[in-house]
Chain A
Amino acid sequence: MTVSELAKAVGLQVISMPSPDTVIECGYAGDLLSWVMGNAQQGCAWMTIMTNRNIIAVAELIDMACVIVTEGSDIPDDVAALAKEKEINLLATELPTYEMCVQVSRLI
């Protein structure tokens, strides 16, 4: 399933979606950045409650399909702008991380 298809199916808020047709290969959830850095796979949808600029660097360096900020965490404007600048798909949802993971697992 592509990032835009997932966004539509779950009703995710689109913060930045420069590559809507990127295929989601797998999912990963976590908030400890160096843990995510060491274990997340390329092409994944990453569920996190972290919203500082470093999430964009992590997503970029790992070549993730998208970042999904869960639990209604507030995304600062500068992070949204950085996502667009670095061409990172950044989505948001009020769903708890677990519920979002279930959706990803069910749909991709």
Chain B
Amino acid sequence: MPEPLKFTYDINGENFASAGEASMQIKKELRSLGFDPQTIRRVSIAMYEGEINMVIHAGGGVAEVLVSPDSIEIILTDHGPGIPDIDLAMQEGYSTAPDTIRSIGFGAGMGLPNMKKYTDEMVIESHVQKGTRVFMRFDVK
């Protein structure tokens, strides 16, 4: 099997209002590689939610995307505050987003559930005060 294509993005934590750049870029790459619209949609939505989470909750991080013909993997790594209770964070509607973030439309507590919904496998590893690593796999049907 050929080596997967690898894309790496530094996600800047300074400016949450401009987040989404990496997701838009990966969408463009997948489109030019000829993936089907449904796969592109799933990957784009999950990547966006993960990207935004790193920006608003963790001060930024790194996104790595590994693209093979039959599966796409995303690994998001940050050195933010970590998630103390992952099961709780996964619940629809759970959010610790402050009012300033809510006022621009985030904080519904739907990001992680969306990511789960659109992935074939999602694994979160997190250590308080060290950071969070989110692995997502999408099988290409």
Contacts and interface: CB of A to CB of B under 8 A. Distances in A.
A52 B27 CA distance: 21
B104 interface: yes
Interface residues of B, number: 26
Contacts, number: 74
A84 interface: no
Contacts of B49: 34, 37
A8 B97 CA distance: 39
B115 to A, nearest CB: 10
Q: Is the interface of A mostly helix, strand, loop or mixed?
A: helix
Contacts of A53: 17-18, 20
A61 B110 contact: no
Contacts of B21: 57
A50 B103 CA distance: 9
Interface string B35-62: 0010001001100110010000000000
A37 B104 CA distance: 14
B17 A33 contact: no
A97 to B, nearest CB: 14
A60 interface: yes
A42 interface: yes
Contacts of B48: 37, 57-58, 61
A52 B17 contact: yes
A57 B23 contact: yes
A33 B23 contact: no
Contacts of B104: 50, 52, 54
A55 B24 CA distance: 13
Given A37-B45, A42-B41, A61-B45, A54 B110 contact: no
Q: Which of B19, B106, B113 has the most CB of A within 10 A?
A: B106
A32 B44 CA distance: 18
Contacts of B140: none
Interface of A: 31-35, 37-38, 42, 48, 50, 52-58, 60-63, 86
